Structure 1
Amino acid sequence: MTYRDRFEAVYDAYYPAIHQYAARRTGSPDDTADVISETFLTAWRRIGDVPEGEEALLWLYGVARRVLANQQRGDLRRAVLTERLRAELAADRPVRPVDLDHVRAAFDKLPERDREVLALACWEGLTSQRIAKVLGCTAIAARTRLHRARKRMAAALERQASLTNAMGEA
């Protein structure tokens, strides 16, 4: 009997039992399928270690048990990492004070090109040389774009302040 024949015989004989074993211990069909595939992949790789007869089922249960344990450890690690990431993101989330709405309004009225260069400089903290690499232009061109965008932002802020003052006086 070849290794392939031996594996097929074990698979055909014990697939239903391993399927039921995994299905009763997992929360989803995908997890069940993962356990089954890992169990039989191990059996394929180690077909020479799989005992004969009914002992093969016990051996497969042992493999499936270890696969489930690994799966559960992985799920726990992912849950812990997800929670830690959520906490870090919540702590790092910038709080937008209400009194800066006029800045956002002025920024939003700028052309996309100006918003992009200002965001790279202010939000990302990039220098003109680095902005140039992002934009695919020379450092001089990036510095010029940034200078012009800052001037347009200042003008937009003045217009926004005038508009806000006019609305407040009315």
Structure 2
Amino acid sequence: MSSGTEHEDRFRRIYAANFEALLAYAVRRVAQHEDAADVVAEVFLVAWRRARELPPDDEIRLWLYGVARRVLANHHRGGTRRERLGERLRQRLTGGTAPAAAGIADPGLEVPQRLAVRAALARLGDTDREVLTLTVWEGLQPREVAEVLGLSAAVVRTRLSRARTRLRELIGDDPQAPGHVFDVLTVPAPEEGR
């Protein structure tokens, strides 16, 4: 089998094994669910371009999460620029008064519990929020989160504890209170050896 075919086969295996997890990761981090597909496509484009440099199979998922973080950062920066440009164009077209946005919101985003969690998560620092969501939503162990974020596992464990405490302060401890729909506060961190 040729080297090119081996790389293509490996890429197909990587894609099949990681697509759903990366899509879930992206959906949780973009305002419009349609954007998640673009983010995942960009992640796999990077992986395809760097096929000969990819880490071993047991490390690839964490590498892909790291790429996804950078793609999302670029996506958010681009979105901010597009919003500013759109606002300037609306003001120019309407003579200085911009009409209300006519976009259709995702009905799931209107659920009060989800809004409460999103608002609370937005009040956390970027690293604390990412440590918490990688642990709870993506099911990564602290040592894996550490690898994705370029931190030590001890720092991740400390930040995870601090993030959960801060989230409890923002939302409250009542499991019936809005926000517990994602189980962010109640899902234990995966067990791992230290």
Give the structure-1-normalised TM-score: 0.50
Q: Which structure is higher in RCO with an 8 Å CA cutoff and minimum separation 6?
A: 2
Structure ranking higher in helix proportion: 1
Give the structure-2-normalised TM-score: 0.44
Larger Rg: 1
